[in-house]
Structure 1
Amino acid sequence: MALQTRLGNRLLAALPAADFNLLAPHLQKTSFGFDAVLVRTGDEFKQVYFPLSGAISFLVEMSGGQIVASTLMGSEGAVGALSVLSPSRSRSPVTATAYVAGSALHVPVSQLQHVFEQSAAIRRVLRFHFRTQLLQLQNVAACNAVHSVECRMARWLLDIHDRGADSRIQLTQEALAQLLGVRRTTVTLTMRKLRAAGGIISEQRRMLEIDRTRLETIACECYGLMRDRVTGMYDEELLMSSPNTAHAQHCLPHEI
């Protein structure tokens, strides 16, 4: 029996039913835990993941061994989608690691490349995704250059909290160091400052309890700016879709 589901991934939800049905027979559901790796630097792209929940960070390994997070993705995106632009085998330039546990629908790269050539709607949605990712990467680069570590940590914590299902955040100091591009000693000092300011309430066993209201007053303007800009872009993209798209119950050919 087909499963009627309201898809959690915004890219898939933006597809008209006929175009979504090109992908549906090939979609499989998977779950991932905190710190799970979806793809490693240098690995061949075999699957493209459409997150339904959770948060995935893209990690860049520098020549000196330092690992830095470039951006964060949740149910608004697709991990490995750029591989559809390569007619031959492509390898990941980054490591995709889960910072919030969740689930995703995945499809073989070869199949997504096939439907990408068939469907104008799929090409439009994925190209839109590429634009939003570029916008966020540009903003992260600018934010890293001009804003303080405290403001940036508050922004990252809010970004992660937005994509989680819990009021608390499971996050290691190592992960925070990767997000901020700083040493763990700097993370420790910054967390003390955020606790003193009331943004972090407690830290126990890798679990952070935060005060969102306080963090929003500490975070740089990038948090609200990018949240509103990207949300607006997605809302506009959904309005461009067919009337039956944004709120349709997409029908999958098998239970996932």
Structure 2
Amino acid sequence: MGNRLLGALPASDLDLLGPELETISLDQDGVLSQAGDDIDYVFFPHSGAILLMIDMADGRTVATAAIGREGAVGTLSVLGPSPSAITAVVRAAGTATRIPASRFHAAFSRSPAIRHAVQIHIRSMLMQFQLGAACNALHPVEARMARWLLQLRDRIDDDVLPLTQQTLAQILGVRRTTVTLLMRNLRARGAIRSDRRGLFEIDRARLEATACECHSAMRLEVEEIFPANTTRSRAAVLPENGRIPESGDAM
């Protein structure tokens, strides 16, 4: 499976989801869930990048998390029936597997492995939310913009990012004029090689020098869940006794 959470599941547990899994295209700027609406589907991206956005009453927006093939959209619905608190927007096109939320909830109740996969995903998301809140409060907007560009780059594995300055302003919760000024500074440092209409080409190493430490902390969290050069996640594979490990247990 292209999605790491699904790919880490034992075959018998994946079979619980299999009959209703559907592969779909993720179109750029497509909305997977809207704040205030019920969650109808759980999405497991295979490629592309999705941002979770908070919509404020005055019309402003700000991004709170990025999700790619390491995660899923809609899994928080297993915590109980309630409207979505966020809007999930596709920022880089790709593909995903989706399943009706009701079917996923049924499999979640039957499978310790699926419950554990959701557990580690929620842990990773909470890390993004917590670091993101601290980053927004403490770090300069230029460092935050570099972090978001790198987070998107990590998920699409390409130095050319499908973004406009207006989209970046929505992600950061700032005016477009602020983004224009930041882009000028990053171009002068060589961190952004070009910004053609709707596309940014970045220099990853130079951009990492500008970003705050939050990017490396978030990336390390994903790498710890899905170690490099392994076909399955050590965190997502259940021990032989089937017990879900507690956070303090040795893996």
Give the alignment's TM-score, normalised by structure 2: 0.89
Aligned-CA RMSD value? 1.7
Instruction: Indicate which of 62, 77, 89 corresponds to 2:56.
Output: 62
Give the 3 Å change call, closer, same or farther, for CA 165–101 of structure 1 in structure 2: farther
Instruction: Indicate which of 86, 96, 121 corresponds to 2:88.
Output: 96
Instruction: Indicate which of 167, 170, 174 corresponds to 1:175.
Output: 167
Instruction: Indicate which of 118, 133, 137 corresponds to 2:129.
Output: 137
**Cα deviation per residue 1:181-237 (whole Å; 9 max; x = unaligned)?**
211111111111101111011111111111111111111111112211321133398
Secondary structure of residue in 1 paired with 2:146 = helix
Larger relative contact order, structure 1 or 2 (CA cutoff 8 Å, min sep 6): 1
TM alignment of 1:158-237, pairs within 5 A: 158-235=150-227
Is the 8 Å Cα contact of residues 124 and 221 (structure 2) preserved in structure 1?
A: no
TM alignment of 1:107-122, pairs within 5 A: 107-122=99-114
What is residue 16 of structure 1 aligned with on the other side? Answer: 10
Secondary structure of residue in 1 paired with 2:43 = strand
Is the 8 Å Cα contact of residues 100 and 163 (structure 1) preserved in structure 2?
A: no
Is the 8 Å Cα contact of residues 201 and 210 (structure 1) preserved in structure 2?
A: yes
Is the 8 Å Cα contact of residues 39 and 84 (structure 2) preserved in structure 1?
A: yes
Q: Quote the Cα distance in structure 2 between the aligned partners of 1:54 and 1:231.
A: 18
**Gapped regions of structure 2 (runs ≥ 5):** 240-251
What is residue 141 of structure 2 aligned with on the other side? Answer: 149
Is the 8 Å Cα contact of residues 225 and 234 (structure 2) preserved in structure 1?
A: no
Is the 8 Å Cα contact of residues 113 and 238 (structure 2) preserved in structure 1?
A: no
Q: Quote the Cα distance in structure 1 between the aligned partners of 2:122 and 2:218.
A: 15
**Gapped regions of structure 1 (runs ≥ 5):** 1-6, 244-256
Secondary structure of residue in 1 paired with 2:226 = helix
Q: Quote the Cα distance in structure 1 between the aligned partners of 2:234 and 2:91.
A: 31
Number of residue equivalences: 235
Amino acid at match of 2:57: S
What is residue 41 of structure 1 aligned with on the other side? Answer: 35
Tell me how far 1:242 sits from its aligned partner.
5.9
Q: Quote the Cα distance in structure 2 between the aligned partners of 1:166 and 1:159.
A: 11
Tell me how far 1:158 sits from its aligned partner.
1.0
What is residue 72 of structure 2 aligned with on the other side? Answer: 78
Secondary structure of residue in 2 paired with 1:65 = coil
Amino acid at match of 1:221: E
Worse-matched range after superposition: 158-167 or 24-33: 158-167
Is the 8 Å Cα contact of residues 52 and 87 (structure 2) preserved in structure 1?
A: yes
Worse-matched range after superposition: 167-176 or 112-121: 167-176
Secondary structure of residue in 2 paired with 1:239 = coil
Is the 8 Å Cα contact of residues 17 and 107 (structure 2) preserved in structure 1?
A: yes
Amino acid at match of 2:62: V
Tell me how far 1:58 sits from its aligned partner.
0.8
Amino acid at match of 1:140: G
Instruction: Indicate which of 47, 55, 60 corresponds to 1:53.
Output: 47
Tell me how far 1:50 sits from its aligned partner.
0.5
Amino acid at match of 1:205: R
Tell me how far 1:55 sits from its aligned partner.
0.6
Amino acid at match of 1:29: T
Q: Quote the Cα distance in structure 1 between the aligned partners of 2:28 and 2:8.
A: 28
